[in-house]
Amino acid sequence: MDSETQTKASVIDGKAFAADLRAEVAEGVAAFVARTGRKPGLAVVLVGEDPASQVYVRNKHKSTVEAGMNSFEHRLPADTAQEDLLALVAQLNDDPAVDGILVQLPLPAGLDENAVIQAIDPDKDVDGFTTASAGRLLTGLPGFVACTPLGCLMLLKDRLGDLSGKSAVVIGRSNIVGKPMAQLLLRESCTVTIAHSRTADLPSVVRGADIVVAAVGRPEMVKGDWLKPGATVIDVGINRVPAENGKTKLVGDVDFASASAVAGAITPVPGGVGPMTIACLLYNTLDAARRREGVD
């Protein structure tokens, strides 16, 4: 591609957008409390002592309290029995103070993640992981959408406005990002292709897209020459790779340097999609509380 056709992408600031969304949620929480006399409540269940999970749970607790909500933490040992974990989920399903339930993944070996997730009341499934939530999204019924793809959609609509008629490629077919992302884009009347590791001639498939969402878990896989000039690129990947100083650094699934010379707009890693995940968790929790109370 010659220099005349190259562009310098504008960087989509997910951190700033997430801060605005969290402030908006906090305002909504204050209004909810004034109307109902109670705070929305988010229950987070952490089993075991996975270091990364502990950081995530700590950040979620802090953000929940800052938004004016109640945060209920349940920390269980790694040797917790399946039936005891399911009993806790059932207890939270029945607790009127709890509007949203999040079971931090991964669970320790020996626990059935799918059985635990499916036990969550769909009306409290603020992570959007149950099959009921997935089915509601697929069929256009009200429900909760997984936080990461929801955040991606918010960033896209903020950048592009109406997405109708645009061509979108989602690279990755996971149940928590790729598939719901594709459904959200379909709901916005995009023409959507789900690509993956077995897609033939993946670069040419990506090259036809106005919107590219990379969620495949391969460091810097998507190169600049894969992109249509002016495309909007959402990089969901968070990969830790060796750095020149002997330490490690975070990179996305997109080669930012080459992609930013071609794309019209792109999310950085870090500071792009990542901050949106917790913000959308708070958004979903407030939404769950409003629905349970019949508050518009």
Residues with catalytic function = 60, 104, 127
| Alpha-helical runs (H) found in 140-273 | 147-160, 178-187, 202-207, 256-259
Cβ atoms of 270 and 238 closer than 8 Å? yes
> 284: Cβ–Cβ under 8 A, 6 or more apart, which residues?
100, 126, 127, 128, 144, 145, 147, 150
CA 228 to chain centre: 25
* Residues 74, 45: Cα–Cα separation, whole Å: 5
Structure-token match 């990461």, residue found: 148
> SS3 of 293, please?
helix
Helices (H) and strands (E) in the chain, counts: 10, 11
Distance CA 112, CA 106 (A): 10
